[in-house]
A and B are shown apart, each in its own frame.
Chain A
Amino acid sequence: MDQSFWTYFFVIGTFATYIGIAIWTRAGSTREFYVAGHDVNPVVNGMATAADWMSAASFLSMAGLIAFLGYGGSVYLMGWTGGYVLLALLLAPFLREFGKFTVPDFVGDRYYSSLARVIAVVCALFVSFTYIAGQMKGVGVAFSGFLGVDFNVGILIGMAIVFVYAVLGGMKGITYTQVAQYIVLIFAYTVPAIFMSIAITGSPVPQFGFIGNAAGTDVAMLEKLNTVVTNLGFTQYTQTTKSTLDVFCITAALMFGTAGLPHVIIRFFTVSSAQNARKSAGWALLFIACLYTVAPAVGAFARLNFIDTVNEATYIGDNENYEQRSADIIARGGKPVPVWYKDWEKTGLLKYDDKNGDGMMQYRGPNAPDGVANEVVPNRDIFVLANPQIAQLPAWVVGLVVAGGLAAALSTAAGLLMVISSAISHDLCKRTFMPGLSERQEMVIARVAAAGAVICAGLLGIYATQLPFVAQVVAFAFGLAAASLFPIIFLGIFWKLMNREGAISAMLVGLISTFSYIYYFKFGGGSSEQWFLGVSPEGIGFVFMWLSSAVGIVVSLATAPPPQEIQDLVEDIRIPGTRSAHGMAEGGMAPGE
């Protein structure tokens, strides 16, 4: 069985499963469409949240980024898991007690203002579209690297699949497909990691291999890696060139951003009570940790394997016969460029430039002790996908990893589509502009909006190919969520006196400041010497989060306090069971309605 057989086998098999689940779990009402009927089991929701949350960035990009950033990659590991502590302790149970369907629902009711709701919709749409572009790019990378399909055609196939189950099944369909996708992606991630861990460290548990010795020696694997990379002129693997403040801010922006992401928050509306929302956050983090504690090991192994197979290999051009030349090179005691490299070179994601004209591939860092210039430039997004080939694992593992990458990207894309469609059909149409809509009409609008969002997302994916790495595109969404959504949700629960004026000004300050900063430095030509306090655009969301909170608090104190019934509402959502006892946490009623 060759590799493309297995790839088609896993990809078609998993896609058929997702569609089967979607047909089986069709949504019949708006409650089912938006929140899967409010009765998802906390363990099931935890697993769905894990798949919802772990995107193409986590699956495809993160280990590759860690491989090249070393300690600097820790920002993603801590940032994307620590946010769950904030979610569990500060947001999820209270938002569930509040009930309703969406984040703008909460903002609109808590701040008794349609304007606040509309601004929250804008924030949610902004965050979700930024994020979804990254997912579509991941789908394109997976398809173009393996199935010999054009990047854009790959995106179209992905969109067609998501279209079927998101539009048909709504949140209910998405929940159960996400469970299936979690199982696919966690197998796809850990199986190659176990193989690599055995080969490099001799331990079958990657978490132990990570802190263990290199196989057959008494040198720690990380120490060996440090020696290898410093000899080539890179920074030590366990160190970073980023400042401590910047590492701190990026980690924090990712953490608070995670807690403020609408597509993660809405998953906690699907369980039956505040208590189950807390439990669900714990299960979600457990399922996420299964991947996140393996990722740093994968990163370290990938870096070692890459250097081992590529550095000082003899290049073979496209016009030469690969088999013949590589046999020649091996016979002369040399190392030919590996097959996986030639495969991936076609995608344009690996570049080789023979600067010294010796036909060998020198891979070097900026401070190479031997003064040789670097000739190989890898795109970090390919590593997880290429790892099984680099480590020469069986062909079926490669197929499994491709299916896993697609599962990660599609599950997140589906969750984001729910946010986009509910923001339009529920928050804008039903709650703001057309309160007279019947449930049936609202469902039609929700499905049309989901379909429209699928098309927009596909176009974004196609035109986003020139954007930087998947994980970095996604990092913007976090800054925006941290600065605009997190503060007003948090203050809305923990500070009774936060009022309409405060919330509106806080959201606007957070959104505008973070967007301008990121835009200026990423697309507007700003240089890193101009960074505010030396904080990079990835971390600025954390700084502006404080600014927007401060503005919100000052404005709230300077204007009239919220009406008594809103203050009562806040007291109620703090005590689990109060609102559900009144039947308020179930339906679409605003306080006083």
Chain B
Amino acid sequence: MDLDQVKEIMGIVEASKVKKLHLKKGDFELQIEKADEHLPAAALPPIYHPPRAAVAEIPETMFHSEHTSKGGKRAVETAIDGKFVISPMVGTYYSSPAPDQPSFVKVGDKIDENTVVCIVEAMKVMNEVKANVSGTVAEVLVESAHPVEFGTKIFRIV
């Protein structure tokens, strides 16, 4: 087996869903293992919607999907209480004005409607986001430098 053939096999594995490949031919042995892909969505509250059940089969499930999913998601939804600062636009959330500067707000801070709580960057424009709610920051729900969509809950406020 020559280098070109090995490269070809690596390309095929890369493009496929195969995670591990062990190939043995005579005294030639090749082992390929893919590193786990880091998908931003896995680290965040869901922004990108996971594939849903086929429509035609279970229409009712789809209609009520938010309420019937078991375990974590439902539990989290009933536990979450309070007001939220939601993203007014699509873009990338930043918790501080610049990388070397402290966050605009942290848990425990008191804020009012006009407090600038974060930046959402869209098309290279840094947009300052005002809270539009008042209270105390109870939880930060998004990691800095992660994407947000319209309506994404960024801060939980009590």
Query: Are both chains from one complex?
Result: no
